[in-house]
Chain A
């Protein structure tokens, strides 16, 4: 989450009227920035990870775990120290074990019980840098903890198991049903008080015409009532007009019902951003990483509980998607189109819908047939010189309305800035994000963000998944890998990734052969303009030289298990890990680094083949084995307290020597 602007935020009825202006100005800023930055070349690989935490407060006397709303105090204290440290480092002061590292940065997040931490400066590809990631993550956790009350700690669960229940799950306690969220489960105070956040939540609700609606299928245990009717729903509230939502059928049978942005945007993710050498490479990575999004989502699954109930899905994604879904009934297809411009198939938070690389391997059959595009914006971008693929991408993002508009920003269009562009860009939460260089900074290049992964309980796991993705990008670029898959299949895969235990039991569409056809011998090396040869007769971008006709797109991919995708199958897809190892065998890696990398790859290999459990499975088992669990899907306060204590222990001991969590991390109780 970037810097937070201050100003007077418009309420939806006013913001709505300014939407076109913001979009137009955003597009002009994009064009100005694109013209400035499209020729940027030879930026190094720099990358960064973002780790998000829940701040929990433990009450050992009452055996209760609560979310702490102390974010502002913690951040203030952290910022104070960061300034001290920077001065200290300049004066030669050092931090044991982190002498060459800058102090980590901490950022606010939507939830007032959340923190985000990033490394003090981005990582490079020097293999020594890769060794610092895990210890730096641990350092961040220590620093954060040091700025909290003694009974508070940062934990890396995706969601708090009892967020939105009737008990006092937050500290300090506030009652629900505030004017911004109008939720019957969570108070307005659950969100960061900065004006941006309540406005965002209120304007989503207002634009939508009702509260957001999250229905997650409940996990049916032996004693779970059937049909299950969420017992926490109050049908008799009459404080806000939106209280009628549940009387109009918002809460579905056999589902856990939630009604506020906090249930989604209060989830913790692990996001990785890469700097590409130039725009062309960035566009290529955006496309090639896109089919991996659902795969890594299923591999990192860690979200089996909502609002005090075990649910029948393993990941957070769709809940966030529903939590920020601002589509009107017309856009959703529930009412005939009268006032709105189009029906929109996906939420603003969803799997991505575009490919943007000018790659001759990109067949037009891969593109999303349901893509909604603002044709006027597309025309403006193309008139401004942008190519059709990229213009289509941004014209797709810009079908949305800006949600938070500050009236101060509407006085004059400043083409040196990117605020209006970012307004739309940063509220399109797709699983990949293509980021132009910031208008104000010359030293940052084109970047791609990989956003689908769930946060893991230990920093070992978080480092492993971060580094795995980095190595995959190097393998993609080195071997010129081709993971292209029709976008609708990736959309389906995203749904599949939600299934309980999808990592072992579900199958995903994936490309069978990631290699191109053999290049003419001694064709030049990879040029900055994509692959050196073409193998497609149906390229979406240009007319390639004649080559043998391709088979049907459907023959290029098949359904595979996560294990087959990650570890390979004997006569099919070679496997992501073998590809990464093949890359590592082609570069000079020192023994110590290779040993670290081997332990990371081993974790991922075993998650994929089932020898190690996902966080989701471990949490389910923890609940199932808890003496007070009644096999009725209810995750009580007592279980939650014990679970949070257990998670703290897993984070600290990492399952070593048979300690709790060994099934996640070690595979045997050694």
Chain B
């Protein structure tokens, strides 16, 4: 079965503990901490009024916690009330940026479905019909500011192969055509990779998001190439492997080990869902009020497969 993890709006929901750490260091602390605190908050709060808002109430699985919700598309952890009003003002007041992380080891063949799933959740959460910018992060690509030439190491394990990136881009282009995505971007592309990638695209990326330890050291070749191709270079500090399997198991594991108590504590225990857990993708969304620079809504969804029916990696 599918597990849909969510943080809700992390801007006004308690300490985003990520900010207690040095900034220029890559981090998935924000994701992990905000998932954890949303789980804790949902367990302690009375959730009447949230239950049943979207689909059949939970309970189909006798061992599923009451603060979650079992829907057609998966088990929501915690239950999400999509009927809540999404954004305070009209759509055109906002810049909505979404970043989709395809995770390492997950077959590229699933990305079409994953992309649609992820975008759909964000649109439902924010009550909007489209997003302004979708940035996709392919697994295994590492941007190295010191060495602009040698980033194509396609034999590195977990490295995404070029063809599947192009395939994935087709899916984004179709969403662009449907008007769901206004602009598209990539992450961690060096100038050579961009130069190889662009001829295969019908809709060009307008953004390349790069992570730099010292953001004043950007390879000149990339600056020049990006300028020529009218690609904006943006900064980020996301972790490359944002949601590893072990972390997911820890988050959802037994309560006495600090988890949410979703997964069974042992192969023969009846206290949770049995089977292997495999995170599939993570999506981050941010809604910024354009002419005021205020981040009104920011959060994550993550999807993991669990159980004996985890799809074979073909």
Indicate with 1 or 0, residue by residue over B132-176, a CB within 8 angstroms of chain A CB atoms: 010000000000000000000000000000000000000000000
Cα A474 to Cα B295 in complex, Å, equals 8
- On whether the beta carbons of A521 and B294 are closer than 8 Å, the reply is no
* Also in contact, A531 and B12, with CB within 8 A (given A585-B236, A587-B286, A591-B212): yes
- Whether a CB of chain A sits under 8 angstroms from the CB of B16 is yes
- On whether the beta carbons of A518 and B296 are closer than 8 Å, the reply is no
Q: Out of B19, B37, B234, which one reaches A581, CB within 8 Å?
A: B19
- On whether the beta carbons of B13 and A519 are closer than 8 Å, the reply is yes
* Also in contact, A568 and B11, with CB within 8 A (given A527-B88, A598-B215): no
| Chain B residues closer than 8 Å to A587, beta-carbon distance | 286, 288, 293, 295
Closest-CB distance, A405 to chain B (whole angstroms): 39
Indicate with 1 or 0, residue by residue over A585-608, a CB within 8 angstroms of chain B CB atoms: 111111110110011000000000
- On whether the beta carbons of B14 and A515 are closer than 8 Å, the reply is yes
- Whether a CB of chain B sits under 8 angstroms from the CB of A517 is yes
Cα A587 to Cα B223 in complex, Å, equals 21
- Whether a CB of chain A sits under 8 angstroms from the CB of B8 is yes
| Chain B residues closer than 8 Å to A568, beta-carbon distance | 20
Closest-CB distance, A283 to chain B (whole angstroms): 16
| Chain A residues closer than 8 Å to B218, beta-carbon distance | 591
- Whether a CB of chain A sits under 8 angstroms from the CB of B15 is yes
| Chain A residues closer than 8 Å to B16, beta-carbon distance | 479, 515, 582
| Chain B residues closer than 8 Å to A532, beta-carbon distance | 12
| Chain B residues closer than 8 Å to A521, beta-carbon distance | 8, 13, 38, 41-42, 45, 50, 78
| Chain B residues closer than 8 Å to A592, beta-carbon distance | 233
- Whether a CB of chain B sits under 8 angstroms from the CB of A528 is yes
* Also in contact, A594 and B14, with CB within 8 A (given A525-B87, A528-B88): no
- Whether a CB of chain A sits under 8 angstroms from the CB of B297 is yes
Cα A574 to Cα B19 in complex, Å, equals 7
Closest-CB distance, B35 to chain A (whole angstroms): 12
- Which residues between 1 and 56 of chain B lie within 8 Å of chain A, taking CB atoms? 8-9, 11-16, 18-21, 23, 37-38, 41-42, 45, 50
Q: Out of B12, B78, B87, which one reaches A519, CB within 8 Å?
A: B12
Q: Out of B20, B45, B215, B286, which one reaches A595, CB within 8 Å?
A: B215
- Whether a CB of chain B sits under 8 angstroms from the CB of A669 is no
Cα A632 to Cα B9 in complex, Å, equals 61
Indicate with 1 or 0, residue by residue over B62-90, a CB within 8 angstroms of chain A CB atoms: 00000000000000001011001111110
- On whether the beta carbons of B88 and A594 are closer than 8 Å, the reply is no
| Chain B residues closer than 8 Å to A474, beta-carbon distance | 292-295
- Whether a CB of chain B sits under 8 angstroms from the CB of A178 is no
- Whether a CB of chain B sits under 8 angstroms from the CB of A520 is yes
- Whether a CB of chain A sits under 8 angstroms from the CB of B97 is yes
- Which residues between 565 and 591 of chain A lie within 8 Å of chain B, taking CB atoms? 568, 570, 574, 578-579, 581-583, 585-591
* Also in contact, A582 and B293, with CB within 8 A (given A532-B12, A594-B215): no
Cα A532 to Cα B295 in complex, Å, equals 15
| Chain A residues closer than 8 Å to B50, beta-carbon distance | 521-522
How many A-B residue pairs have C-beta atoms within 8 angstroms? Tell me: 139
- On whether the beta carbons of A588 and B294 are closer than 8 Å, the reply is no
Cα A599 to Cα B294 in complex, Å, equals 22
- Whether a CB of chain A sits under 8 angstroms from the CB of B274 is no
* Also in contact, A522 and B80, with CB within 8 A (given A532-B12, A590-B235): yes
**Which chain B residue has the least Cβ–Cβ distance from A568?**
B20
| Chain A residues closer than 8 Å to B19, beta-carbon distance | 574, 578-579, 581-582
**Which chain B residue has the least Cβ–Cβ distance from A46?**
B291
- On whether the beta carbons of A44 and B291 are closer than 8 Å, the reply is yes
- On whether the beta carbons of A525 and B298 are closer than 8 Å, the reply is no
| Chain A residues closer than 8 Å to B84, beta-carbon distance | 522-524
- On whether the beta carbons of B292 and A520 are closer than 8 Å, the reply is no
Cα A591 to Cα B237 in complex, Å, equals 12
**Which chain A residue has the least Cβ–Cβ distance from B16?**
A582
- Which residues between 16 and 47 of chain A lie within 8 Å of chain B, taking CB atoms? 42, 44-45
Cα A477 to Cα B214 in complex, Å, equals 27
- On whether the beta carbons of A588 and B234 are closer than 8 Å, the reply is yes
| Chain A residues closer than 8 Å to B298, beta-carbon distance | 586
Cα A589 to Cα B295 in complex, Å, equals 13
Closest-CB distance, B55 to chain A (whole angstroms): 16
**Which chain B residue has the least Cβ–Cβ distance from A586?**
B295
* Also in contact, A591 and B215, with CB within 8 A (given A522-B81, A524-B88): yes
- Which residues between 258 and 313 of chain B lie within 8 Å of chain A, taking CB atoms? 286, 288, 291-298
- Which residues between 166 and 218 of chain B lie within 8 Å of chain A, taking CB atoms? 207, 210, 212, 214-216, 218
| Chain B residues closer than 8 Å to A520, beta-carbon distance | 41, 45
Cα A125 to Cα B218 in complex, Å, equals 24
Closest-CB distance, B123 to chain A (whole angstroms): 16
- Whether a CB of chain B sits under 8 angstroms from the CB of A480 is yes
Chain B, interface SS category: loop
- On whether the beta carbons of A277 and B292 are closer than 8 Å, the reply is yes
- On whether the beta carbons of B14 and A517 are closer than 8 Å, the reply is yes
* Also in contact, A518 and B88, with CB within 8 A (given A591-B235, A595-B216): no
**Which chain B residue has the least Cβ–Cβ distance from A277?**
B292
- Whether a CB of chain A sits under 8 angstroms from the CB of B250 is no
Q: Out of A45, A583, A586, which one reaches B292, CB within 8 Å?
A: A45
- On whether the beta carbons of B234 and A479 are closer than 8 Å, the reply is no
* Also in contact, A525 and B86, with CB within 8 A (given A516-B12, A578-B20): yes
- Whether a CB of chain A sits under 8 angstroms from the CB of B241 is no
**Which chain A residue has the least Cβ–Cβ distance from B86?**
A525
| Chain B residues closer than 8 Å to A591, beta-carbon distance | 210, 212, 215, 218, 223, 233-235
| Chain A residues closer than 8 Å to B237, beta-carbon distance | 585
Cα A595 to Cα B223 in complex, Å, equals 13
Cα A362 to Cα B207 in complex, Å, equals 42
- Whether a CB of chain B sits under 8 angstroms from the CB of A478 is yes
Cα A125 to Cα B95 in complex, Å, equals 13
| Chain A residues closer than 8 Å to B78, beta-carbon distance | 521
Closest-CB distance, A242 to chain B (whole angstroms): 51
Q: Out of A124, A479, A581, which one reaches B12, CB within 8 Å?
A: A479
- On whether the beta carbons of B133 and A588 are closer than 8 Å, the reply is yes
Cα A519 to Cα B8 in complex, Å, equals 10
**Which chain A residue has the least Cβ–Cβ distance from B95?**
A588
- On whether the beta carbons of B14 and A516 are closer than 8 Å, the reply is yes
Cα A371 to Cα B223 in complex, Å, equals 57
- On whether the beta carbons of A477 and B12 are closer than 8 Å, the reply is no
- On whether the beta carbons of B88 and A589 are closer than 8 Å, the reply is no
Q: Out of A517, A523, A578, A590, which one reaches B232, CB within 8 Å?
A: A590
- Whether a CB of chain B sits under 8 angstroms from the CB of A526 is yes
Residue of A277, A516, A525, A570 with highest tally of chain B CB at under 10 A: A525
Indicate with 1 or 0, residue by residue over B103-125, a CB within 8 angstroms of chain A CB atoms: 00000000000000000000000
Cα A591 to Cα B286 in complex, Å, equals 19
Closest-CB distance, B229 to chain A (whole angstroms): 15
Cα A206 to Cα B21 in complex, Å, equals 56
**Which chain A residue has the least Cβ–Cβ distance from B89?**
A42
Cα A574 to Cα B292 in complex, Å, equals 24
Cα A124 to Cα B293 in complex, Å, equals 9
Closest-CB distance, A576 to chain B (whole angstroms): 11
**Which chain B residue has the least Cβ–Cβ distance from A471?**
B293
| Chain B residues closer than 8 Å to A598, beta-carbon distance | 214-216
| Chain A residues closer than 8 Å to B37, beta-carbon distance | 518
Closest-CB distance, A280 to chain B (whole angstroms): 12
| Chain B residues closer than 8 Å to A574, beta-carbon distance | 15, 19-20
- On whether the beta carbons of B12 and A480 are closer than 8 Å, the reply is yes
Residue of A44, A480, A520, A579 with highest tally of chain B CB at under 10 A: A520
**Which chain B residue has the least Cβ–Cβ distance from A591?**
B233
Which 3 residue pairs spanning A and B have beta carbons closest together? A125-B293, A582-B19, A518-B14
For the complex with contacts A586-B288, A586-B295, 18 further pairs of A-B residues with Cβ separation under 8 Å are: A42-B93, A474-B293, A474-B294, A478-B11, A478-B294, A516-B12, A517-B14, A522-B8, A523-B84, A525-B9, A570-B20, A582-B19, A586-B11, A588-B207, A589-B234, A590-B233, A598-B214, A598-B216
Can you offer 16 A-B residue contacts whose CB atoms are under 8 A? A45-B292, A125-B291, A125-B292, A474-B294, A478-B11, A480-B11, A519-B12, A519-B14, A525-B87, A525-B88, A526-B88, A528-B88, A579-B19, A586-B11, A587-B286, A591-B234
